[in-house]
Amino acid sequence: MDATIYHNPRCSTSRKTLERLENAGIDVTVVKYLTEGWTREQLTKLFADAGLTARQAVRKREALYKELGLADSSDEAILDAMVEHPVLVERPFVVTDKGTRLARPIESVDEIV
């Protein structure tokens, strides 16, 4: 099985999820989204495949979330902010042939591996 993880190496949940996938013998493609960035189309598809809205997938604990006033923004405005500031996307997302999950909690990836 192959998987893609949208990974932030500074995030302990992201590191633990990557380790879980590798320990399961899964061939993992690592996408460091903070340096590669996102397109609006990528995020729209990722969230739809995971069954989430942009509001559900935004990092509310990120200082930038408050600074940009995203709590009162539309999903469209949140998506725009996520494209401009990739750090606003919750992490990690994992994609396999069986589906897409936000690994929070980490065990949610077990549904797609």
Note the pLDDT of residue 80. 97
- Both structure tokens of 41: 């189309």
Measured between alpha carbons, how far is 24 from 26 in angstroms, rounded to an integer?
Answer: 6
Measured between alpha carbons, how far is 108 from 68 in angstroms, rounded to an integer?
Answer: 30
Sort strands 93-96 and 99-102 into parallel, antiparallel or unpaired. Answer: antiparallel
Taking only the tens place, the pLDDT of each residue in 52-71 is 999 999 999 999 999 999 99
- The one catalytic residue in 4, 11, 59, 80 is 11
Would you call 68 a catalytic residue per the annotation?
no
Measured between alpha carbons, how far is 56 from 77 in angstroms, rounded to an integer?
Answer: 13
Taking only the tens place, the pLDDT of each residue in 6-51 is 999 999 999 999 999 999 999 999 999 999 999 999 999 999 999 9
Taking only the tens place, the pLDDT of each residue in 71-87 is 999 999 999 999 999 99
Note the pLDDT of residue 25. 95
Note the pLDDT of residue 41. 97
Note the pLDDT of residue 61. 94
Asked whether the predicted pLDDT for residue 1 surpasses 90, the reply is no
Question: In the 3-class helix/strand/coil scheme, how is 42-90 assigned residue by residue?
Answer: HHHHHHHHHCCCHHHHECCCCHHHHHCCHHHCCHHHHHHHHHHCHHHEC
Residue 93: CB atoms within 10 Å: 27
